[in-house]
């Protein structure tokens, strides 16, 4: 089997990270695990090696999910990079092979794995992806049929290391919560002429841990809604139609209203407006 590198960016989640690593340690095959640690209190490498000698620790001072993904890719020995969140539990022993074997097809650039979110049932209608001219990203990846897809979910996907290099890495322009950074990569993979395959046998449970992680750190003051809106705007500016941009901004604001209704507070809507007003440039 082609060697794989499992890359796990982590931020202030030592407890659940260790559980994730214990699950991974039961897998067989030619692979390594790279933990890219952005935590305020650095994780000790010995704690990781006590679980499995195949685990390597990579420290990074510049926080940010795209940056952590890129550093993991640079340090990886494997030809196939499997990106996981630090709060997932693998559900089958052939998880590794389920990802890797798809790359025998030279047209496959990335693989989207199956993900069960907390409280979520199996999707029987449509799989997640990127749809419509407004670049709507959503849907469930808890699906059971293998097929080509347009998107992937950040807690469970794989990609050719050579392709990450070819595309210039993950875009560090996605900041704060960094939402949509994996969808940006999915679009670039397809524009480069490659396919993305959904592989239901690459199956895990995402725990959506409530402590640590950049998105949870932002929850306490509703700041995450600013970064959601800002990154949606950045994503559309990169990939959407300029003609549809005003309509897209209206959609973002409507989402902000829905977030406020859900949170029973005006703060999500206020933060959404802040995010829409943030400027940026493409270098």
Question: Residue 252: what pLDDT?
Answer: 94
Residues sharing a CB contact under 8 Å with residue 36, sequence separation 6 or more, in sequence order:
7, 8, 9, 10, 58, 60, 68, 69, 71, 72
163 close to 192: Cβ distance less than 8 angstroms:
yes
Calculate the alpha carbon distances from 204 to 83, 90, 113, 140 in Å: 12, 4, 8, 13
Question: Residue 280: what pLDDT?
Answer: 60
Question: Residue 283: what pLDDT?
Answer: 42
Phi, psi at 137, each rounded to 5°: -110, 125
Question: Residue 46: what pLDDT?
Answer: 86
Question: Residue 271: what pLDDT?
Answer: 93
Domain boundaries, the chain: 4-206, 221-277
Retrieve residue 10's tokens: 């982590």
| Number of neighbours of residue 27 by Cβ within 10 angstroms | 19
Instruction: Give the fold, CATH level 3, of 4-206.
Output: Spore Coat Polysaccharide Biosynthesis Protein SpsA; Chain A (3.90.550)
pLDDT 10s digit of each residue in the chain, 283 long? 568 999 999 998 889 999 999 999 999 889 999 999 998 888 888 889 999 999 999 999 888 999 999 999 999 999 999 999 999 999 999 999 999 999 999 999 999 999 999 887 787 666 778 877 788 888 889 999 999 999 999 999 999 999 999 999 999 999 988 999 999 999 999 999 999 999 999 999 999 866 656 555 545 568 889 999 999 999 999 999 999 999 999 999 999 999 999 989 999 999 999 999 986 655 4
Retrieve residue 130's tokens: 């990127």
Question: Residue 139: what pLDDT?
Answer: 80
Question: Residue 248: what pLDDT?
Answer: 92
In the block, tokens 């796990």 appear at 8
In the block, tokens 């997640």 appear at 128
DSSP 166-191: HTTSS-TTS-TT-TTHHHHHHHHHHH
């Amino acid at each position: 089997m082609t060697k794989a590198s499992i890359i796990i960016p982590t931020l202030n989640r030592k407890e659940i990270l260790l559980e994730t690593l214990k699950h991974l340690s039961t897998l067989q095959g030619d692979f390594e695990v790279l933990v890219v640690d952005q935590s305020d209190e650095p994780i000790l490498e010995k704690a990781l090696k006590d679980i499995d000698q195949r685990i390597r620790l990579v420290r990074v001072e510049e926080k940010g999910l795209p940056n952590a993904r890129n550093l993991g890719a640079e340090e990886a020995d494997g030809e196939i990079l499997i990106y996981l969140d630090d709060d997932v539990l693998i559900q089958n022993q052939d998880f590794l092979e389920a990802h890797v074997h798809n790359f025998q097809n030279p047209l496959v650039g990335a693989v989207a794995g199956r993900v069960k979110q907390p409280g979520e049932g199996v999707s029987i209608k449509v799989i997640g992806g990127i749809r419509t001219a407004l670049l709507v990203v959503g849907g469930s990846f808890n699906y059971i049929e293998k097929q080509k897809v347009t998107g992937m979910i950040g807690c469970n996907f794989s990609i050719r290391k050579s392709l990450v290099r070819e595309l210039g890495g993950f875009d560090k322009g996605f900041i704060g919560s960094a939402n949509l950074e994996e969808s940006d990569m999915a679009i670039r993979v397809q524009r480069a002429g490659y396919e993305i395959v959904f592989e239901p046998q690459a199956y895990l449970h995402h725990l959506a841990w409530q402590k640590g992680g950049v998105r949870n750190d932002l929850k306490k003051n509703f700041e995450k809604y600013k970064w959601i809106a800002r990154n949606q705007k950045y994503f559309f500016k990169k990939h959407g139609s300029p003609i549809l941009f005003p309509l897209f901004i209206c959609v973002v604001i409507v989402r902000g209203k829905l977030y406020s209704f859900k949170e029973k507070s005006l703060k999500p809507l206020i933060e959404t407006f802040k995010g829409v007003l943030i400027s940026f440039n493409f270098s």
